[in-house]
Amino acid sequence: MDTLAGKRVILGVCGSIAAYKVAQLARDLTLAGARVDVIMTKAAEQFVGAATFQALTGRPVLTDMWTLPEDGVVGHVSLGMQADVVVIAPATANTIARLAAGLCDDLLTTTVLATRAPLLIAPAMNPAMYDHPATQANIATLRARGACVLEPEFGRMAEPLVGRGRLPEPADLLAEIRALLGRHNGPLRGRHVVVTAGGTREPIDPVRYLGNRSSGQMGYALAARARDLGATVTLISGPTALTPPRAVHVVAVETALDMRAAVQAACAQADILIMNAAVADFRPAQPSTEKIKKQADEGLTIQLVQNPDVVGELAHRNDLFKVGFAAETRDLLANARSKLQRKGLHLIVANDAVASIGQAEIALVVLDGEQAIELPRQSKETAAAMLLDLIVERFEQWLPGRQPSARENGDR
């Protein structure tokens, strides 16, 4: 189920102090089921030993064009030709320059020249070297040729200085590799998926709000999975404590009205809407502009008005595949079925609110017009992956009958 399982990854390591971080990446890729062939430049060997990568990947590490393993599979050109993705991390100014010039003076550059696989380059170097017009021009050349070149991060460098030149963390590199592989040949490549997540906050006064217990975990995991399957993803999120997934466009919102505006804007060009957010049904009619003060022994009555039904308002959009959620405390299936119809959804995902809120695991039932498919209780990440695979399957079945969007009609 992992999108990296069985993928052939070439990991090119250059001579930068950040090479130590890539040992973790080699391990993570291998644990995800990828076959990882590490190629080290001469300079890289000054920073990390080949034995480290060999132990972590369980495969011979390649350091020299002229002394390749003798299994007949690995040749200096065939390695690149077999790859699903080539990753260069850390990429030094020198290797970036050699790649931009189209040189093939060592095994890594030769492999890049011989491959047609997507190329991910993660530069890491002294900030002055990174900012230099020569390096920037080389990066622009590589991007123009289709390489995905990551922006290094800002922070404390190995030398006592702060600047832009740090290698992203291994988990972030892993996410970028998954995203690139998905964009290249995932089932959702070329599709735009909008995911909403978290709960909305409806202001009572400048310091208080009406909210709910949604953590956003499920929505964030769905967004990451849609990205891994190749989609361009817009994640519209209420406030959460989570770190947004990499390579996903995040729109932060606070209230139901903000969420409605963001969903309408993003869905103008979308193929799939996954409405996972816990949108508040009501908001204070007139939020106070000043902090509300206690009045003697009196309580407080707040007048509430109904919020719009964000997904329900899109019921007329027959060009958009819509998935809703129903977290219920009773009559789970009956309530979910009625929402499926009322809101004009293609699928609804039902769960027991009490059994899942604040829990690491979740059990789901997915309903369409006729069927109910049960997904067993499992971690929210695994549940999200299974759910998204099911959404993709149903989306593909629905596609042939899809009505052209207003945009497509206008384009004709």
Binding residues (CB under 6 A) for ligand CTP: these are 256, 275, 277, 279, 281, 307, 309-311, 324-327, 339, 343
Active site positions, annotated = 212
Closest to ligand CTP by CB, 186 vs 219, is 219
Q: What is d(CA 124, CA 18) in angstroms, rounded to the nearest whole number?
A: 7
Handedness of CA 274, 280, 285, 289 (dihedral sign): negative
Closest to ligand CTP by CB, 86 vs 263, is 263
The minimum distance between CB 88 and ligand CTP, in angstroms, equals 41
The minimum distance between CB 302 and ligand CTP, in angstroms, equals 18
For 108, the 3-state DSSP assignment is helix
Cβ neighbours of residue 369 closer than 8 Å, sequence gap 6 or more: 340
**Complete DSSP assignment for 324-382:** EEEEESS-HHHHHHHHHHHTT-SEEEEEEHHHHTT-SEEEEEEE-SS-EEEEEEEEHHH
Closest to ligand CTP by CB, 114 vs 256, is 256
The minimum distance between CB 313 and ligand CTP, in angstroms, equals 8
- Token pair of 357 as six digits: 């809120």
Closest to ligand CTP by CB, 11 vs 259, is 259
- Alpha helices by DSSP H, listed for 58-212, are 78-82, 93-100, 107-114, 127-131, 133-144, 170-185
H or E element in which residue 31 lies? helix 19-31
How far CA 38 is from CA of 62, 77, 80, 260, in Å, comes to 6, 15, 12, 47
Closest to ligand CTP by CB, 246 vs 337, is 337
Where residue 122 falls (left for φ over 0; alpha for ψ -120 to 50; beta otherwise) is beta
- Cα 258 to chain centroid distance, Å, stands at 23
